[in-house]
Chain A
C-alpha cells in the first residue's frame, strides 16, 4: 500500500516462507563467548557465555558500563567475530558463517563513528546501502534509487538528500546513516551507541524512530547504549553486561533493580516504576554524603 510497507515486504523475501512467523525467534544468541588475544597466553578481554533470544519487531538494548563487553557482543551478533564457543543464529543460520554479501543483506550495522575521506552527499551515502545487492561492474538501478529515496523518507531526511555529509548536524547525520542501513533492507538492525553526541531531543526521536521501524518493517533491533532511561522506555528486552559477564536478561522491569544497577554502574541510583510500568532511574547525587554523616 504505502511505500514504507512496500519496502518492508521486500525486506523479507524469505520471511514467512521459511517458517519464521511473527512469533518465532529470529535472533538466537546461545552461550556465545569471545576472547581477545593478549600479548601472551592470557586474553586481554573475555566476554563470557551470553544468551538471549529476540523476535521480529522486538527492540533489545545492551546495557553496561564502559569495557563491559557491549561492543564485543554486538560484533558477535553481526557476524564480524566468530564466537569462541556457542553460536549466534539469525533465522537459523550462524551469522559469522554467512558470506559478506548475504550477511549485508540480512544485517545492517550502524557504527559509532563513520568517517569519510572525500566529501559525499547524503544520497551517495544512502546508496552505499545498496552495495550488497549490486552486481559487479553495474551501476545503481531505478529500484536502488527508489529504495534509497524511500529509506530517506522513512527517517524524515528527504530534505537532506543533496546536502554534504560533513555540513549537516550530528542528529541529521545519524538519520542519514540510519537511512543507509534501511537501504540494505535488513531483517536485523544493529546500532552501536547511536545516541552518542546527540542532544536529548534527538536521542528520544531516534529511539522512537527505531521503535516505529521495528514495528513497520518488522525488524529486530539491537542497540548498545549508555542511556538507561531511554532503554527502559523503548526496549522490550534488556541485556545487562558487567566486566564481560551477562548479569541479567529480561524486560526493563525485571532487570532494573536498584542493588543490581548500583553494583554494575558503581553509582548511587534509585529505581522507580513509572505510570506505564516502565522503570526509571534517578541519580542520587548526595546520598553517599548523607549516609556518611
Chain B
C-alpha cells in the first residue's frame, strides 16, 4: 500500500513549483525585446535585495509592468481552469469534462459580454460586474448542460458532452450577435479575447484585483476541502453516500466553486480551452488519480501550462502575437479525440 501522504504531496508540489519557477524565468526572458540571462538575473537580483530603485527604467517597464503581470495572470487563470476541469470531471463523473468542452466557458463569456453591452459605463462597480456576470453565465450553463445531458433520469457521458458542445455553439452564435452591437469597440481585440487571450491589461483597481485573486484562492480551497469525497464520488453517488459522503453538499460546493473559477478566468482572459482537460489528465499520469494530490498538482500544472502556452503564443510568430487559446486548442483537441477514442474502445 502506498497511500497519499503529506510528504508525497509536498514533494509533488515542490517539484511543480520548481518547474513553474523555471517556466516563469523563461517567460520573462523571451519576447519582442530580448533580454539576456545575465541582465534578467541582475535586475531580478536587485529587486530581491530591495534595491529596485536602481532598476533601469526600460527593464522596469518590460519586466515588471508588461511581462510579469501577464505571467501572474497566466498562473491564476491556468490554476483556475485546471481545478475547475478536475472538479467538473468528478461532479459529472466524466473524464472528458472541461469548462470549454462543456460550454461553460462560452456561458461565462456570454455573461461577461452581456454585462459589457448592458452596463458599459459603470465606472466604479463595472470591473466587478463583469466577473459576476461571467460566474452567473457559467453557473447557468453548467446547470443547463447537466439537465440536457440526462437520459432516462441518468447522467449519460456521451449525451452530456454532446449537450455541452451544442450549447457552446449556440452561445457562440449569441455572442457573435451581441458583438455586432459593440460598434465602438475593437472587434479584433474582442475576437482575441473570445479565443482566450492574456494580453488584456490587468484591472487597474486594487479592489478588483484582490477580488479576482481572493475568489480564485477561495474556490480552489473549497474544492480542495472536498478532495477525499470526490475520490469516492467517482465510484458513484450511491456508493459515496454509503461510505459517509454528504453527496448533495459536496456536489453543491464543487458546482459553485468550479463555476466561479471558470467565470473569473473567462472574465479576464476569455475562453482558453482544454486546459481543464489536459492538465488534470497529465497530473493523473504523473501523480495518480487521488484528488487530494490532484487538486494542488493540477493548480500548479495549469499555471505551468498556461504560462508556457502564452510564452509560445507571444514568440512563435513574433512580433505577431497569437491568442493563447489557439495554442491550447491546438494541443488539446487532438488529446481530447485520443481520450474519447480510448474510452469508446
Contact = CB atoms under 8 A, between A and B. Distances in A.
**Bound pair (A, B):** yes
Interface of A: 78, 80, 100-101, 103-105, 107-109, 111, 114-120, 123-124, 127-129, 131-132, 134, 136-137, 139-140, 144-145, 148-149, 161, 184
A100 B225 contact: no
Which of A100, A107, A114, A119 has most B Cβ within 10 Å? A100
Given A103-B244, A161-B1, A116 B225 contact: no
Which of B3, B4, B284, B290 has most A Cβ within 10 Å? B3
Contacts of B238: 80, 111
Given A137-B225, A139-B6, A100 B1 contact: no
Nearest 9 interchain pairs by C-beta: A104-B244, A132-B244, A118-B289, A109-B242, A101-B244, A123-B1, A140-B3, A117-B234, A131-B243
B243 A118 contact: no
Contacts of A184: 243
Interface string B115-127: 0000000000000
Q: How large is the interface on B (under 10, 10 to 19, 20 to 34, 35 or more residues)?
A: 20 to 34
B225 A136 contact: yes
Contacts, number: 82
Interface string B270-284: 000000000000001
B6 A104 contact: no
A114 B242 contact: no
B1 A149 contact: yes
B235 A100 contact: no
Nearest to A127: B3
B147 to A, nearest CB: 18
A134 B228 contact: yes
Contacts of A123: 1-3
A124 B4 CA distance: 10
Contact of A118 (B2, B5, B228, B284): B284
B236 A80 contact: no
A124 B231 CA distance: 10
B95 A105 contact: no
Contacts of B70: none
A137 B291 CA distance: 11
A115 B244 contact: no
Contacts of B2: 123
B244 A139 contact: no
B100 to A, nearest CB: 20
A118 B234 contact: yes
Which of B89, B235, B292 has most A Cβ within 10 Å? B235
A80 B241 contact: yes
A107 B289 CA distance: 27
A206 B290 CA distance: 30
25 contacts: A78-B242, A100-B245, A101-B244, A104-B242, A104-B243, A107-B242, A114-B236, A117-B95, A117-B235, A119-B289, A123-B1, A124-B290, A128-B231, A128-B235, A131-B228, A131-B232, A131-B243, A131-B244, A132-B244, A134-B228, A136-B228, A137-B225, A139-B5, A139-B6, A145-B1
Given A111-B242, A118-B234, A137-B224, 16 more contacts: A78-B242, A80-B238, A100-B244, A101-B244, A103-B244, A111-B236, A116-B234, A117-B94, A117-B234, A118-B95, A118-B289, A136-B228, A137-B225, A139-B6, A145-B1, A145-B3
A117 B290 CA distance: 12
B243 A139 contact: no
B1 A131 contact: no
